[in-house]
Structure 1
Amino acid sequence: MLRPHLPENLQRVGFLSCLPELLRRFDVDPLEVLAAAGLTASALEDPDGMIPYRAMGLLSQLSCEKTRCSHFGLEIGRQIRTETLGLLGELMRNSPTLRVALQDFAINQHRNAHGGVTYLLEDKMQAFFGYAVYQPNVPGQYLICDGAAMGAFTIFCELAGTGHASALEVLLARSEPRNVSHYRHAFGVKLAFNADQTAVVFPRRMLDQPVAGADVRRRIVLEKQVQVLWHAGGIDIVTQLQRELRVALIRGCFSATAIARQLGMSRRTLDRRLDASGMKFQEALDDTRCEYAQQLLDCTQLKIADIATIVGYADPSILTRGFVRWAGVTPSQWRTKLGREADTCADNIK
């Protein structure tokens, strides 16, 4: 069945406006990188400007190659602060508690970008402030992972205070780099590579931490302004479903009824709206599972059986059959091919 044609996912420039100066520090011409990514010389000048989401990944990949800096994703992530998030960042700074601030971003992040999703998940003891890519075939995904982790860490410390950083753990959905010292220095907390998600983890009780300097009256104004903010354009039902499914797989609860509830509608209404868009729930779920599995195969060293469990399959053979239909090869063949390409890329960066 043909999938519905969706508009191109967009990313607000925001923190990327710092990229040209960052490249110059490495003696790299930013105009050369921008051109190679298919962008104009002025594409990153306006923080409220928009670029294709895929171009953000390509910029990260090309910057890594040109600077020969394998941890360049961390350098980009250091630029992420509430200030670079525009109106959403100001809303976060004027939230009464850390929970509300992080929820503000998770709920409204789609106003700044489509292609990746920010989330806040909680269990009995811990909270997870993370980021996941749901757009297929985005280049430089491990660099996006690095940048998102660094950004989440920086935002947490900004809102809660650096004195609480020691309680954090950083999960990275990527394999351990050859030189881990850059990561240890950047975060200074416990790191877990080859994780199933990219997130900052901290004690749940810390969500009640007040945000210093929050202005209740200013927040009322900001809430109204955010409701009409659409930097990345409107969000259709298929994109809403993709975002929700990607987080639901991490949460481990992805039934159609549960997803419809998360989207604020009945199962029947969800099915009707998907039918009108030319999509079925099971098709969207299968696509999301395969994309998630591909990311874990590409970026981590997790066993295929473990990846099958993570994406919600009880038997690895089910993942294999679905992956062959989706990618034309088995998961192990995919990983072997990617391994050869990764070795070539690593040799170029050395």
Structure 2
Amino acid sequence: MTEEDTTIGAAASLIGCTLRDYGISVTDVFRDAGLDPEAAIAADVRYPFEKMQRMWRLAVERSGDPCFGLAVAGHIQPQALHGLGFMWLSSDTLLDALERLVKYQRMISTVADIRLEEQKESVQLHVDFRRSTADIEYASLDAAVGVFVNMCRIATCETFNPVRLSLERPRPDCAERFEDLFRSPVEFGAAANIIDFDPVQLREPLPGANPELARANDQVVIDYLGRFDRENISMQVRSRLIELLPGGQPSQKDIAGSLNLSVRNLQRRLQAEGISFKRLLDDTRKDLAAQYIRDSHRRIGEITYLLGFSEPSNFTRAFRRWTGVSPNEFRQRS
């Protein structure tokens, strides 16, 4: 993936709050992770994904707690998620809140790949990442699912429990703390990270439902993401690539022109973010390919077209280079 990936700064603040419970110097952990501790209080601050993962790793090591992520989830307050947190509480139902989470997930992290799927007897929230599993610290995943469950409890006045939880991470020595927190069966070493919800409970009215407040916070989040996208040239290029790829592979000149930039200026700004146009094009195609192939209704020919490849064989070769398997093999495993 790319250097432009970022995580909301409040995640670092929550780690800091939790470190204090263990008597650990928050400033030292921030600095050893390469992060500015003073910047964490700014509402719009975002930290690079790699440095945040380093912070998670340091926090687990120095606390000596393999379940540190669960402790972080216990510190969650709605304001930590910016407008998304207040939007969650003021949504009509938990289903509405989760749909907003999926819609605005980039606010939390640009590596997030969160989606809802309706099954016969449950609604599933899949919590994935556009990264190799090796790049993800288990504590950050534990915290993410813990935060989502705790936000549901805050919204329902503590009446919520998930039906079950599935996690890709191996079973830790502190596994009983997972069942204590989630109050439901937890499967470790699973094929995917999934929170199963009771569909009836998801559709029950929330006590704090307030459509006007929810819409107001929708706009707060939209404005936040708009500021973020304007400042981040990589995200602008990615957006243009997604828009133009169905018409064939766009050139760097095409993208620069669509952004009212010269090719040289585009190259300079991308370089400042630690990424090249070629790498960004390849990463964007890779990310989209994985999303499209998980959709069983899309045919390989359609995906080839959407990604700007001239022939299915060209797409298949590229996909095998990205993942080590063919598109059909990947679909069967997903």
TM-score (norm 2): 0.71
Change (3 A) 1:240 1:150: farther
Distance 1:212 1:188 in 2: 22
Counterpart of 1:155 in structure 2 is 151
Equivalent pair of 1:152/1:200 in contact (CA under 8 Å): no
Counterpart of 2:121 in structure 1 is 125
Q: Secondary structure at the match of 2:114?
A: strand
Identical residues among aligned pairs (%): 17
Equivalent pair of 2:84/2:218 in contact (CA under 8 Å): no
Structure 2 regions of 5+ residues with no counterpart? 230-234, 243-280
> Quick check: 1:56 aligned with 2:56?
no
- Out of 239-248 and 179-188, give the one that drifted further: 239-248
Residue type of the partner of 2:29?
V
Choose the corresponding residue for 2:63, options 67, 72, 75.
67
Shift of 1:286: 4.4
Distance 2:98 2:122 in 1: 14
Counterpart of 1:25 in structure 2 is 21
> Quick check: 1:83 aligned with 2:100?
no
Choose the corresponding residue for 1:204, options 187, 199, 207.
199
> Cα deviation per residue 1:158-193 (whole Å; 9 max; x = unaligned)?
23443231x521111111112322222222211111
Counterpart of 1:187 in structure 2 is 182
Equivalent pair of 2:66/2:173 in contact (CA under 8 Å): no
Equivalent pair of 2:294/2:331 in contact (CA under 8 Å): no
Distance 1:63 1:9 in 2: 21
Distance 1:125 1:244 in 2: 29
Equivalent pair of 2:18/2:75 in contact (CA under 8 Å): no
Counterpart of 1:312 in structure 2 is 331
> Quick check: 1:213 aligned with 2:232?
no
Counterpart of 1:271 in structure 2 is 307
Equivalent residues, number = 280
Shift of 1:225: 3.4
Distance 1:248 1:175 in 2: 28
> Cα deviation per residue 1:76-106 (whole Å; 9 max; x = unaligned)?
2233443311112222222222211101110
Distance 1:145 1:282 in 2: 31
Choose the corresponding residue for 1:175, options 158, 166, 170.
170
Equivalent pair of 1:113/1:232 in contact (CA under 8 Å): no
Equivalent pair of 1:9/1:232 in contact (CA under 8 Å): no
Change (3 A) 1:309 1:285: closer
Q: Secondary structure at the match of 2:109?
A: coil
Alignment of 1:36-55 (within 5 A): 36-55=32-51
Alignment of 1:206-245 (within 5 A): 206-230=201-225, 232-233=228-229, 234=235, 236=238, 237=242
Shift of 1:69: 0.9
Equivalent pair of 2:14/2:76 in contact (CA under 8 Å): no
Distance 1:112 1:311 in 2: 27
Residue type of the partner of 1:218?
L
Equivalent pair of 2:127/2:193 in contact (CA under 8 Å): yes
Shift of 1:124: 2.1
